[in-house]
Amino acid sequence: MSTTQMLKGILDGCILAIIKNKEVYGYELTEKLESYGFHSFSEGTIYPLLMRMQKEELVTSTLKKSTAGPRRKYYSLTKKGEEELNKFKLQWDHLQTNVNRVLSNEVEEN
Partner DNA sequence: TTCTATACCTTGCAATACAAGGTATTTTCT
Partner DNA sequence: AGAAAATACCTTGTATTGCAAGGTATAGAA
50, interface contact from DNA, a copy of itself, none, CB < 5-8 Å by kind:
DNA
3-state secondary structure the chain: CCHHHHHCCHHHHHHHHHHHHCCEEHHHHHHHHHHCCCCCCCHHHHHHHHHHHHHCCCEEEEEECCCCCCCEEEEEECHHHHHHHHHHHHHHHHHHHHHHHHHCCCCCCC
90, interface contact from a copy of itself, DNA, none, CB < 5-8 Å by kind:
none
| Sites of contact with a copy of itself (CB under 8 A) | 1-10, 12-14, 17-18, 21, 33, 35-38, 84, 87-89, 91-92, 94-99, 101-103, 105, 107-108
Instruction: Write the binding mask 12 to 51 for DNA: x where contact by CB under 7 A, - elsewhere.
Output: x------------xxxx------------xxxxx-xxxxx
Binding region for DNA (CB under 7 A): 1-5, 7-12, 25-28, 41-45, 47-52, 65-73
